Amino acid sequence: MQLPRKLILVGAVLGLIPLGLGAAALATTKWTFIGDYGLFNPVSLFSGAVLSCGSPPQRQRVQGLEIGGLAAILAGIILSVLLSMLIKNKLIRLLPQIFLILGPTAILIGIVLLLECLREPGIGYSMLLMIIACITGYILAIYFAFATVFGRHNHGNSSTDIVRESVRF
């Protein structure tokens, strides 16, 4: 297996870190410092006692951004692996970078929207896990960009093959 393909597969394994952290953050209920409030429990976290803007549209925005961000990271990883294996053009292989950058950005926007609604400052470990998932998502995007751009994809066009083809004429 060629080195660039190995780098992409290592990136796919590294991509499990932000996905795992994000999934753990979504599953746990400690989003604020003052109590056990889950992101998907509308009675607790989005009640007026904890958040100043606990309306259903705000809740849906935050939930959608967090889940959408993780889905975009997953799509970016899958597309990076598939395109690096199938496509020779480096510009086309950079297209998954859009997903790998938009995913952590959506997570970051969701976190900011949630933080601006908190009545009392303080974040819980669930929000901290999501922040770490966001940071590692950006690191993953940078890794995939370097692995894609600086990787040498020969796809069977070695100097020996080129000499053989020129000798045939």
Task: Mention every residue, 6+ apart, whose C-beta is less than 8 A from residue 144.
Answer: 8, 11, 76, 77, 80, 96, 97, 100
Pair 39, 115: CB distance under 8 Å: no
Helix (H, G, I), strand (E, B) or coil at 35: strand
pTM value?
A: 0.76
**Domain extent at residue 120:** 3-168
Helix (H, G, I), strand (E, B) or coil at 135: helix
CATH code of residue 8: 1.20.140.150
Count up the domains in the chain and report the number: 1
Residue type, 122: G
pLDDT tens for the chain, residues 1 to 169: 576 778 888 888 999 999 999 998 888 877 766 655 556 555 555 544 455 665 667 777 888 898 999 999 999 999 988 888 887 777 787 888 899 999 999 999 988 888 887 766 677 788 889 999 999 999 999 998 888 877 654 545 545 544 444 455 4
